[in-house]
Chains A and B, each alone.
Chain A
Amino acid sequence: MSLRRTFAITGRLMRQFRHDRRTLAILFVTPLLVLALFAALFRTDVPLPTVGVVGPADGSLSAAIADALVASDAVAASRIESADAGEARLSDRILDAVVVVPAPGSDGVLRPEIVVEGTNQRVAGIVPGALQQAVGAGMAAFAPPIPSGAPAPSIPRIEPVVRSLYGGSELDALDLLGGPFIGLLVFLLVYVVTSVSFLRERSAGTLERLMASPLRRTEIVVGYMIGFTIVALVQAAEVLGFGLLVLKLYNAGSVWLIFGLEVLLAVGAVSLGIFLSTFARTEFEAVQFIPLVVVPQVLLSGLLVPVSSEPGWLQVISNVLPLTYAVDALREVMLRGAGLESGIVLRDVAVLAGFCVLVIVAASATLRREVA
């Protein structure tokens, strides 16, 4: 083995890196960006879950527990008038949970009820803990220290019950993540395939030929869009079928609506692929865009961490990323059974459709710019 020849290879690589600023940026800037995003997502003071407390104010043990919960610093709790009003606010996403502390039953057992919205695992983890503490604090406040030798006062047994407004308690992590993840998969794969294949059109010189034909730019973009959307639809149907039939993902909504959302996602992904391929000269460069386009969207879409628990400046970014709306809509439909009559779903669909139009226009415009 000749060191000289070996170092020739190494030296050449280093010189190539020097000329390829973009690769250097990908190698040295992207990891910091992604890591910083992770830190912002997972190590920030997220807002406390908002809890509505229903309970008596009569100096009973139940009242003491309710008061202790309102005073708890694990949740942002306040008293509300009734459980029904609380549930309405739950489904409007004003409250994260409702806790009802009734008087002990005739059997002497106190059964506080926690009603959660059902699609937010973080809340589902925090609220029972907070109630547990409130029970302890409430009992301490209600029963003064027992003098030694005196008989223990009868303290009711406490058995909290958790109920979910949507989906029921049988929702597991896959049910919560699976639906939005299907949308994400469709978007990402279609984006990658389109950007690489459109780039091939550029590098092979066939795009030049198309530009010298009577084809309009929008005809090229829309033609591409239809072609890849057809493929994406088959893919979406396959993935959805696998998710619902084989993995038995929980779905309370319309399969057609889910499918429609995936069509929108695919159309957006195709146009984005064409648009961004303008900024790359080779397939390698197109692949380099993936960490920049894909990773932030996955992290900030609300799939892993609810957008509402992100720090404010990240929420701003999340709110302009199209995938955020796709994830939200898919959750809304699959977990809460919402349809097009829901304002939230309509808003999500409108944003996704607007995104598609925007990228189609941008993709057509960049094609023109390249020519003259």
Chain B
Amino acid sequence: MTAAATASTRPAIEARDVRKRFGAVQALAGVTLSVPTGMVYGLLGPNGAGKTTLIRALVGLVKPEEGELRVLGQRMPDREILERIGYMTQATALYADLTAEENARFFAAVHGGGDVEAALRFVNLWDRRASVTSKLSGGMRTRLSLACALVHRPDLLLLDEPTVGVDPQLRAQLWDGLREMAAGGTTIIVSSHVMDEAERADRLGLMLDGRVLAEGTVADLLALAGTDRLEDAFLRLSAAGLDR
């Protein structure tokens, strides 16, 4: 993305000191974050770090108690803006008794239209479009779920651990596709707890205990931690974060 584009558009996501508590658990403990438009942004952190809660807040499913959250320029929660957001949940949330194409068509319709064929081709499932979803393999269902999240060509795509159960070859292919979408101006947030996956993102946010511990490009984070492996960087930065 060019410097000019950055200057001309607002960040796709702006979070300022966002807090949310579920009973005794402080799921978000003051998240501050800015993601420019057209970027692939990786949210990295162990289970329970707050990645899913943050993503759910970005689609208005969680209402922050404190702080401000702006998505595509709109303060969340905002229903109208959801037409421009694609959301892929952790569970492959699909209608098991519908075919792949019927699922994609349904999610296109509830978002106000989309290109079903392009979405299914994108995840390599166009040939399997007539298969009933419950008959698809786990990896295929994950891909179909991704197709359903992007079928309406959203400006912001939120992917909660999207490549679980997808084989390495297809994973590479999907990432190429995501990069292509980002180049076309789509902002993509990918959460993951797998390090080698996170390395593919333009920028990373390391999350732990409801906070963003460190943020930057892979190179930034490695330099910050003084190591050459992202996994080590994460461990060191989390240890430092806990000491704070």
Contact = CB atoms under 8 A, between A and B. Distances in A.
A372 B87 contact: no
A212 B61 contact: yes
Contact of B93 (A206, A215, A371): A206
Interface in A314-328: none
B111 A372 contact: no
A372 B77 contact: yes
B93 A208 contact: yes
Contacts of A22: none
B172 interface: no
A214 B112 contact: yes
| Main SS class of interface, B | loop
Interface core residue of B63, B93, B95, B148 (most chain A CB under 10 Å): B93
A157 interface: no
A211 interface: yes
Contacts of A206: 93-95
Interface string A339-372: 0000000000000000000000000000000011
A204 B61 contact: no
Interface string B70-111: 000000010110110101011111111000000000010011
Given A213-B82, A372-B61, A208 B94 contact: no
A205 B89 contact: yes
Contact of B96 (A204, A209, A213, A372): A204
Contacts of B123: none
- Which of A211, A213, A215 is the most central at the interface, judged by chain B CB atoms within 10 Å of its CB? A213
B62 interface: yes
A204 B93 contact: yes
Interface string A102-125: 000000000000000000000000
Contacts, number: 52
B111 A213 contact: yes
B139 interface: no
A208 B61 contact: yes
A219 to B, nearest CB: 9
A9 to B, nearest CB: 30
Contact size range, B: 20 to 34
B241 interface: no
B144 to A, nearest CB: 12
Contacts of B94: 204, 206
A215 B107 CA distance: 11
B221 interface: no
Given A214-B110, A372-B63, A209 B87 contact: yes
Nearest to A205: B93
A214 B91 contact: no
B174 interface: no
A281 interface: no
B59 interface: yes
Contact of A214 (B79, B89, B96): B79
B147 to A, nearest CB: 13
Interface string A208-230: 11111111100000000000000
A130 to B, nearest CB: 60
B60 interface: yes
Given A372-B62, A372-B63, A372-B77, A214 B83 contact: yes
Contact of A205 (B80, B91, B110, B112): B91
B59 to A, nearest CB: 4
Given A204-B94, A208-B93, A214-B111, 14 more contacts: A204-B96, A205-B92, A209-B87, A209-B93, A212-B60, A214-B79, A214-B80, A214-B82, A214-B110, A214-B112, A215-B110, A371-B60, A372-B60, A372-B77
Interface of A: 204-206, 208-216, 371-372
26 contacts: A204-B93, A204-B94, A204-B95, A205-B93, A206-B93, A206-B94, A206-B95, A208-B61, A208-B93, A209-B87, A209-B89, A212-B56, A212-B59, A212-B60, A212-B61, A212-B82, A213-B82, A213-B83, A213-B107, A213-B110, A214-B80, A214-B82, A216-B79, A372-B60, A372-B62, A372-B77
